[in-house]
A = this chain, B = another copy of it.
C-alpha cells in the first residue's frame, strides 16, 4: 500500500495542504489506494525523506517528495492504470499552470487564509506557524486579515485566465480532468478546508467547475474534513 505523509491540523483528520491535495487527487485519478499519515510541522517523522516538507510519498522502497515530482513518478510507475496526465504535449503546459499557481495564485490565497489556518493547526504549532508566516509576509497576521478584501480583489483578477478557459472546457484537461485541474483545484480545497472564506463570489463562472471537482471520485473532496 502506498503511503503519503499529509499535513494535519490540530485534528489529525483535518488535511488541507494544497500540495497534499494534488497528490491525493492524482492517486485517485490513477485508481491507487493510499494510507495517509498525518504530519505536523513539529514532527520529525519525515526526516527519512531527506527534506522537511510534505507531501512525501512512500511506494515500497521508493520515496518521493514534492507534488509535481510525485505526479511525474506516478505517471511513470503506473502508466497503465489510466492515461498519463503529465505526458508530452501536455506536460510542459501543466507545469506552466503549476508555476502560475505557485507564483501568482498561491501567494495571494496564502495571505487570505493564513489568519484562518493558524486557528486549525495543532496548538504546539501555533507559535512556529505565526513566526514563520509573519516573517514571510513581513507583517502580523492581524494585518494580513485587515487586507483580505484587497487580496480577494487581486485573486478575482487573476482568475480571469481560468474563467476564460473553463468557460469553454469542462476541465483544464479538456473533456476530462487531468493533473492541471488538480493543481488548481487544490488551492480552492485548501481554502475550503480551513475556513468559510470564498475565494470568488456567489455565481462566479468558476462555480460549475469547482462543483464538478468537488464531486469527483465519489465526492472525495466534498466529504473532506473542514475547519472546526
Q: Are A172 and B93 in contact (CB under 8 A)?
A: yes
CA distance A91 to B161 in the complex (A): 15
**Known A90-B90, A161-B104; contact A96-B174, beta-carbon cutoff 8 A:** no
- A: interface residue count bin: 20 to 34
Q: How far is the CA of A46 from the CA of B100 in the complex (A)?
A: 37
Quick check: A180 and B93 within 8 Å, CB to CB? Answer: yes
Given contact pairs A174-B88, A175-B88, A160 touches B93 in the complex (Cβ within 8 A): no
Give the residue of B87, B92, B160, B172 whose beta carbon is less than 8 angstroms from that of A92.
B172
Among B83, B94, B164, contact of A103 (Cβ-Cβ < 8 Å): B164
> How many copies of this kind of chain does the complex include?
2
Q: A161 touching B89 by the CB < 8 A rule?
A: no
Q: By the criterion CB–CB under 8 Å, are B171 and A100 in contact?
A: no
Give residues of chain A (47-77) contacting chain B, Cβ–Cβ below 8 Å.
none
Contacting pair A160 B103 (CB below 8 A): yes
Q: Choose among B90, B95, B103 the residue that contacts A168 (Cβ–Cβ < 8 A).
A: B95
Complex CA distance for A89 and B178, rounded to whole angstroms? 8
Q: Which residues of B contact A172 (CB under 8 A)?
A: 92-93, 96
Roughly how many angstroms separate A126 CA and B93 CA in the complex, as a whole number? 39
Among A124-178, those with CB < 8 Å from B are 160-162, 164-165, 168-169, 171-176, 178
Interface residues of A (CB under 8 A from B): 83, 87-97, 99-100, 102-104, 160-162, 164-165, 168-169, 171-176, 178, 180
Sorted nearest first, the 3 A-B pairs with minimum C-beta distance are: A93-B93, A88-B174, A92-B169
